[in-house]
Amino acid sequence: MKSKYQWHINTPITKDIIAQYPEINPIILQLLWNREIKNLKDIDNFINSDYQDLLNPFLILDMQKSIDRILGALQRKEKIIIFGDYDADGVTGSTILYQGLKKTFSALHQQGKLNLGDNFDKEVDKYITVYIPDRHKEGYGLKDTGVSYILENTPKLVITVDCGVRSKDEIKSIQNSGIDVIVIDHHSVPEEMPPAFGIIVPKRKGDPYPFKDLCGAGLAFKVMTALLTEARTKVGYDFIPLGYEKWLLDLAAIGTIADMVPLVGENRIIVRYGLYVLGKTRNIGLKALMDSTGITAEVDEIDGLEGNSISVYSVGFQIAPRINAAGRIAHANQAFQLFTTDSSNEANTLAQELQKLNDNRKNLTETVLKEVEARLYQSDNIQNQALIFEGDKNWSIGVLGIVASRLTEKYYRPVILYQEQAHHCVASARSIPEFDIAKAVQQMDDLIISGGGHSQAAGITFDNHRKEEIKEFFRQKIREEVEINNLQPYKNIDIELNAQDVDWDLYDSFYKLAPFGMNNSAPVFLVRKLRILDIKVLGADQKHIKLKLTSEAQVGTPLTIDAIGFNFSYVVDQLHRNDIVDLVFRLEVNEWNGNRELQLNIVDIASNQS
């Protein structure tokens, strides 16, 4: 039986490296080396990272002038509009800004500097409002409708979050109208930055901030940390308690996980502490959302797969999809309203609405996926194609990114799916590590209306009559950079182990590397020559398998352990009792009826050829 993936095993560390760090388990040292953590200081910072290790937000270029402008606007009771994106990162980032601004505004009011009267809660929304565009009608970022809304409502200050860095003309128009704009964004930067009052974009050239990979919500958290720090010097600790900003970490962690930025450096700290804040959140809407999904207040940094604890998994696969469903199917305002309501009844109602939207999103996703695959089956051999490029006027824009991701994973090809509208097409693109799709989008400004994103995910808008040009441009670029005929998905393997290494000591040791996510994935191990003692098919749909394995071929006490393979039932006809296999897996804990035992979560399996 052949493996599904190519296996790329990381180069083993040398004996000299092991000798340099005698206090560190060699297996853990290998895992750190694989993550480019190679000196004692970096190792210590990674394993023992603390909230106090977060960087000074004022190191970001334009932070001080932006904070001075925001604080001045609040003190002068100038109207502020927060312009956020419609995805989970944008919604959580917008909420962080709204709550931080509201807290500062409240402190100024309590100190007697604003004279707003006794009805502060009703007054505050006259001065601080949030605008999130309609994904279906407006698309991503600052567009004509959003600019018109801003100009009609005559604020003195606009703060964008998770968008804006590529909106040069729109921001120029707003600035020329006497409205200052502060851009908070983390997407790929253009050659020419927008003419905004302040630009909080650590990725831009010349910005000295050491960590470049914060998402929109993470940057919003840094801005609010800076604002609250500055505001305390003016209103005192009685009105803004020291550490208040930590209560915003729950939202920052959700945005960080949802946007799939690298879970290292500051992101790792935000998520680690944010998960615990989420466990005791004061946010009524978040509580209602977790209750509706069956998530308990227990935090699990390392497990959580298929579980109901607070973890990277439950945030990424249960909480974030429900937030995203609002923007994908209806309007992201529903999610923002959920996170800012003071009513438990309203929170419960909104949480249930997000659940229904998410169910609808799943159905739409399956419909589009089936239609695309039906077309692929009618075309030439997919393995000879450089690109999957399909569209339809009836496809929902909100699910195209999800479908594109699934197709990219299945066929290991860049995928562009679009909805064809009256005059233009709106597309979601997903790619493979070998091809930077955002870079390609930047090289086609003359062909598209707008576009941008990350190396493996982008959004594009283009005129209907240019579909074939767009398609051919991408095909040519992909063939220039990628050996299409040799493409096969690969799986990085951290380390090849002997069976006797698989024990509780190993599990307890790599726990220190959690929480796991992008660029810090849960370790993937390989053990060869395992004998199959038993095979079972599991699940109501019979899609999963469970193997009982032993390592009898090795010297010493044999390992006997269970392995679970989700969606691996297709291999059942190729496996038999007493077969010898090589197994790629993640090590996890299976808990049942008060018992707790180690279990292998199958990543890939192949017959042993030796």
Mean pLDDT within 385-396 = 93
Q: Contact 437/429 with Cβ under 8 angstroms?
A: yes
Q: Contact 415/437 with Cβ under 8 angstroms?
A: no
- Range in 26-30, 172-176, 299-303, 590-594 with the lowest mean pLDDT: 299-303
Residue 470 has pLDDT above 90, yes or no: yes
Mean pLDDT within 447-460 = 87
Residue 489 has pLDDT above 80, yes or no: yes
Rounded to 5 degrees, φ, ψ at 608 are -75, 125
Q: Work out the percent of the chain whose per-residue pLDDT is above 90.
A: 71
DSSP state of 310: B
Q: Contact 414/478 with Cβ under 8 angstroms?
A: yes
In the chain, how many H helices and how many E strands?
20, 18
pLDDT at 472: 94
Q: How confident is the model at residue 556 (pLDDT cuts 50, 70, 90)?
A: low
- Range in 29-33, 233-237, 457-461, 501-505 with the lowest mean pLDDT: 233-237
User: What tens digit of pLDDT does each residue of 50-103 get?
Assistant: 999 999 999 999 999 999 999 999 999 999 999 999 999 999 999 999 999 999
User: What tens digit of pLDDT does each residue of 199-217 get?
Assistant: 999 999 999 999 999 999 9
Mean pLDDT within 164-169 = 93
pLDDT at 553: 55
User: What tens digit of pLDDT does each residue of 563-575 get?
Assistant: 999 989 889 889 9
pLDDT at 304: 52
Rounded to 5 degrees, φ, ψ at 108 are -65, -40
Q: How far is it, in rounded angstroms, from Cα 344 to Cα 159?
A: 29
503-510: Cβ within 8 A, 24+ apart: 503/598, 504/598, 505/25, 506/27, 506/587, 507/587, 507/589, 507/598, 509/25, 509/27, 509/28, 510/27, 510/28, 510/31, 510/587
Alpha helices (runs of H) in 412-466, residue ranges in sequence order:
437-442
pLDDT at 77: 93
Rounded to 5 degrees, φ, ψ at 148 are -60, -45
Rounded to 5 degrees, φ, ψ at 48 are -110, 30
pLDDT at 584: 97
Q: How far is it, in rounded angstroms, from Cα 67 to Cα 58?
A: 9
Q: What residues contact 200, with CB distance under 8 A and at least 6 apart?
A: 60, 62, 63, 66, 182, 183, 184, 185, 219, 222, 223
CB atoms within 10 A of CB 232: 18
Of residues 329, 335, 332, 334, the one with CA closest to residue 357: 329
- Range in 169-183, 297-311, 388-402, 485-499 with the lowest mean pLDDT: 297-311
Q: How far is it, in rounded angstroms, from Cα 462 to Cα 469?
A: 10
Mean pLDDT within 421-439 = 92
pLDDT at 109: 85
Rounded to 5 degrees, φ, ψ at 607 are -65, 140
Q: How confident is the model at residue 509 (pLDDT cuts 50, 70, 90)?
A: confident
Rounded to 5 degrees, φ, ψ at 6 are -75, 140
pLDDT at 87: 94
User: What tens digit of pLDDT does each residue of 364-387 get?
Assistant: 999 999 999 999 888 766 767 889
Please count the residues of the chain.
610
- Range in 2-11, 96-105, 315-324 with the lowest mean pLDDT: 2-11
Task: Tell me the domains of the chain and their CATH numbers.
Answer: 6-46+493-607 (2.40.50.460), 52-246 (3.90.1640.30), 379-486 (3.10.310.30)
| 130 vs 540 pLDDT, higher one | 130
The DSSP annotation for 118-166 comes to S-HHHHHHHHEEEE---TTTT-SSS-HHHHHHHHHH--SEEEEES--TT
Of residues 405, 412, 385, 376, the one with CA closest to residue 6: 412
Strand ranges (DSSP E) for 13-89?
80-84
pLDDT at 237: 81
pLDDT at 302: 72
Coil vs helix vs strand at 346: helix
pLDDT at 555: 54
Burial 369-394 (b: 16+ CB within 10 A, else e): beebbeebeeeeeeeebbbbbbbeee
Coil vs helix vs strand at 427: strand
